[in-house]
Amino acid sequence: MKISVLDQSPVKQGGSPELALAETLELARHCDRLGYHRFWVSEHHSTAAYAGSAPEVLLGAIGAQTSRIRIGSGGIMLPHYSPFKVAEIGSLLAALFPGRVDLGIGRAPGADMDTARELAHGGTPRFHLFPRQTEELIDKLANHRYRPKITPRPEQNPVVWMLGTSRDSAVLAGRLGLPYNFALFINPDTGPDILRLYRENFQPSATLASPLAALTVNVYCADTAERARQLARARHLSMLKVVTRHGFSGIGTIDEAQSYPYSPEESFYIEQRGRYDAVGTVGQVSSRLAELAESFSADELMTVTITHDFADRLRSYELMADLLVE
């Protein structure tokens, strides 16, 4: 099982966006050395939680500081942009880092709707056009006779991935013959049938002869199971504050999570949000990831690890490196 990394450049309490981006770059170098398969970065706007608003910019820095790991957008939110421009971004990255670039695209706004309107030309988001935009993007990358020309034209195009959290994205990815990454860490309310739905709808394309499905999950791996549980609880408390509108003040500490007075409803929320997480020692995480891969019929796994202490993030990936298979 190939294991990869999605990093969201999280901003922690007492930290800054500059520090968050520096940690992303250090983590990318760390995972490159350890042998992880892919390193993707996300797109979020108008939020204090994450510093990565332009994955295409961040990927240029990551590519320059790594040597072998595949790099990619997880993802670029296509409805905000023109397919022509996104094709140019992917082509330029593929020319800079030959054979290493994944162009992950998604439909979600990556922001609240007021921000989505600011991002949209004319103030009107175009989420309903996403299927057509995706087809245009694929055509522009594949058709060398397309006018106006996409430049530069790399020898090897970026690999376009469909990212999603819904059944609609699974069906669309299958119909277009794209590899598909389901964000289980965002939507744990969707069960194992989601990747089966993708496979059932898959139609071979010029770039992919058979389905390729990845599953992205939260992982907290530590030297002890108790430490791993503490890391997971601290992360879920940060998310709880967002959904209950208590305000986001950065990724919180273990001490804060241990002293927080959880109501029964809040405890239930955290339990539900974390029911697909992989938490524990390397042996426990290994068993959990294998269970998820089998249950969802995933070809690859992508992991998200967010902690207040960056050393815990580095250690989690260091421990998991024992599970890597190329």
pLDDT of residue 14: 92
pLDDT of residue 250: 78
24 C-beta neighbours (distance < 10 Å), count: 22
Kindly list the distances between the CA atom of residue 315 and the CA atoms of 221, 232, 238, 311, in Å, as whole numbers in the listed order: 8, 14, 21, 6
Strand, helix or coil at 172? helix
Kindly give, in sequence order, each residue whose CB lies less than 8 Å from that of residue 211, ignoring residues fewer than 6 positions away: 174, 179, 180, 198, 199, 202, 299
pLDDT of residue 249: 66
Give tens-digit pLDDT for 66-109.
Answer: 999 999 999 999 999 999 999 999 999 999 999 999 999 999 88
pLDDT of residue 154: 95
Does residue 317 register a pLDDT over 70? yes
The number of angstroms, rounded, from the C-alpha of 30 to the middle of its chain's C-alpha atoms is 18
83 and 114 Cβ atoms separated by less than 8 Å: no
CA distance 128 to 112: 17
Give tens-digit pLDDT for 12-61.
Answer: 999 999 999 999 999 999 999 999 999 999 999 988 889 999 999 999 99
Give tens-digit pLDDT for 275-303.
Answer: 999 999 999 999 999 999 999 999 999 99
pLDDT band at 247 (very low <50, low <70, confident <90, very high): low
Using alpha carbons only, what angle is made at residue 91 by residues 87 and 96, rounded to the nearest 5 degrees? Answer: 150
21 C-beta neighbours (distance < 10 Å), count: 18
Mean pLDDT of 130-159: 92
CATH no. for 2-219+278-323: 3.20.20.30
What element of type H or E holds 129? Answer: none
256 C-beta neighbours (distance < 10 Å), count: 15
Q: What percent of the chain has pLDDT over 70?
A: 98
Mean pLDDT of 136-155: 90
